[in-house]
């Protein structure tokens, strides 16, 4: 039985995002041991995560546009080579400033080459089960938490943080580059079928400039920003908070892994549900559950509670994250998908940049993470409110068609 090559694209996407995002997000595992070994404050180390996402945002937009023009394979190959270089160089940093530049900027630019281009490519390969395919292609985020974080913790305990980061860099080269070679454009028949299924006035009429000026783009971007701002701080500081509450370091790393497992489950269930009830309804539900989960961290102290909440929290943000790509595809079509999702993803990275830095600053200022969770809860509720304003894509298509007729008259 011949396997549809789109599923090979999904598999390659899982491997690439696992290494690409898993290594970047593993900085939360390095946070406490690096601070102890070097004397650098948590705020200064967390600033590298801030730079990760500040650089990843514009890079996502640029990489997405390049993938529309030159293809995803070339983009992902370049990003994989750059990611390994950044990790290897950061492992040898002598000062916190060097570390912030090497880990924060180089790895941030590299990471921007993975999610948006691979997601755009996946949507072009699939007409049926598109939400599920996109959810699975992004599952590397969850698998990275499940695998890279415990691996990093084990390497740190046995060999120190520098050797651990150097090893992750070499592993990135070893796995991402071969996986990138499997990525290719869909054949002309598949592109024609996708266009036939999704053809509508938006697909025919939207240019990048026009799409960027729509209220729908602003609503999706703001929701994605608030969604990521709400969960990025709790994710990044999850391990450090658990350790501060008396949980052993390796057990705290497995809590992070449990959130990754739940996130993977959430992506699959969320993708299946979105195919049935629509992406908007699933996003609203997931955002509400995420806000509730964040608020419960204020009351969490023991290992069993951390595991339980990690499962709930991981499921919530996992169910939501892949669905923004589906909304972008439904609103703006496949032709400019890479560029538009890169632009939306840029907004999300601004939110991802805020949480880790704010959590580190609040901890250094107040000696606890209490205000991090309160602030994240408030932002999460705001994300739900914005998501409720989404209009159905058909309404946007009708408005666009009406505008075209008026201009033609």
Is residue 206 scored above 70 in pLDDT? no
Rounded Cα gap, residues 9 and 17, in angstroms: 12
Is residue 202 scored above 70 in pLDDT? no
Domain of 360?
A: 5-399
For 96, the token pair is 């916190």
Is 404 part of any domain?
no
Rounded Cα gap, residues 382 and 389, in angstroms: 12
CB atoms within 10 A of CB 207: 11
Residue 405 has a pLDDT of 44
Q: What is the largest CA-CA distance in the chain?
A: 73
Q: What's the CATH number where 290 sits?
A: 1.20.1250.20
Percent of the chain with pLDDT over 90: 33
Q: What is the pLDDT of residues 368-386, one digit of tens each?
A: 899 999 999 999 999 999 9
Is residue 201 scored above 50 in pLDDT? no
Burial degree of 250 (CB within 10 A; 0-12, 13-18, 19+): exposed
Is 167 part of any domain?
yes
Is residue 315 scored above 70 in pLDDT? yes
Is 407 part of any domain?
no
Total structural domains within the chain: 1
Angle subtended at Cα 390 by Cα 388 and Cα 392, rounded to the nearest 5 degrees: 125
Do the beta carbons of residue 269 and residue 318 sit within 8 Å?
Answer: no
Lowest mean pLDDT among 94-103, 105-114, 197-206: 197-206
Is 409 part of any domain?
no
> Is the pLDDT higher at 176 or at 354?
176
Is 408 part of any domain?
no
Name the pLDDT band for 278 (thresholds 50, 70, 90): confident
pTM across the whole model: 0.69
Rounded Cα gap, residues 213 and 104, in angstroms: 31
Reported residue count of the chain is 409
Helix 303-320, helix 249-277: angle, nearest 10:
30
Is residue 1 scored above 90 in pLDDT? no
């Amino acid at each position: 039985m011949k396997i549809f090559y789109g599923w090979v694209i999904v598999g390659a996407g899982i491997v690439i995002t696992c290494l690409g995002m898993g290594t970047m997000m593993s900085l939360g595992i390095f946070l406490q041991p690096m601070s102890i070994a070097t004397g650098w404050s948590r705020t200064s180390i967390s600033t590298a995560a801030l730079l990760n996402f500040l650089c990843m945002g514009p890079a996502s937009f640029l990489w997405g546009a390049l993938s529309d023009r030159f293809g995803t394979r070339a983009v992902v190959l370049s990003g994989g080579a750059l990611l390994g270089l950044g990790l290897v160089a950061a492992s040898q940093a002598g000062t916190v400033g060097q570390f912030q530049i090497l880990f924060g900027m180089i790895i941030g630019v590299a990471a921007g080459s993975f999610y948006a281009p691979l997601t755009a490519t996946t949507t072009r390969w699939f007409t049926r089960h598109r939400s599920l395919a996109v959810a699975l292609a992004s599952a590397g985020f969850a698998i990275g938490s499940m695998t890279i974080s415990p691996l990093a913790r084990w390497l740190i305990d046995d060999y120190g943080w520098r050797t651990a980061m150097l090893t992750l860099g070499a592993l990135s080269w070893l796995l991402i580059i071969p996986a990138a070679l499997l990525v290719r454009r869909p054949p002309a028949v598949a592109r024609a079928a996708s266009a036939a299924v999704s053809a509508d006035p938006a697909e025919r009429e939207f240019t990048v400039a026009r799409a960027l000026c729509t209220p729908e783009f602003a609503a999706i971007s703001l929701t994605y920003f608030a969604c990521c701002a709400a969960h990025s701080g709790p994710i990044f500081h999850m391990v450090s908070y658990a350790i501060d509450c008396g949980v052993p370091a390796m057990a705290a790393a497995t809590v992070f892994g449990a959130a990754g497992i739940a996130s993977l489950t959430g992506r699959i269930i969320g993708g299946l549900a979105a195919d049935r009830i629509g992406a908007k309804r699933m996003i609203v539900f997931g955002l509400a559950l995420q806000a509730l989960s964040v608020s419960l961290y204020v009351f969490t102290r023991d290992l069993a509670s951390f595991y339980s909440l990690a499962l709930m929290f991981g499921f919530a943000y996992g169910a939501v994250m892949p669905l923004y790509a589906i909304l972008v595809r439904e609103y703006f079509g496949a032709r400019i998908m890479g560029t538009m999702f890169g632009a939306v993803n840029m907004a999300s990275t601004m939110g991802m940049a805020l949480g880790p830095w704010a959590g580190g600053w609040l901890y250094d200022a107040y000696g606890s993470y209490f205000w991090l969770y309160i602030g994240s809860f408030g932002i999460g509720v705001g994300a739900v409110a914005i998501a409720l304003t989404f209009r159905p894509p058909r309404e946007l298509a009708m408005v666009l068609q009406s505008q075209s007729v008026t201009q033609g008259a």
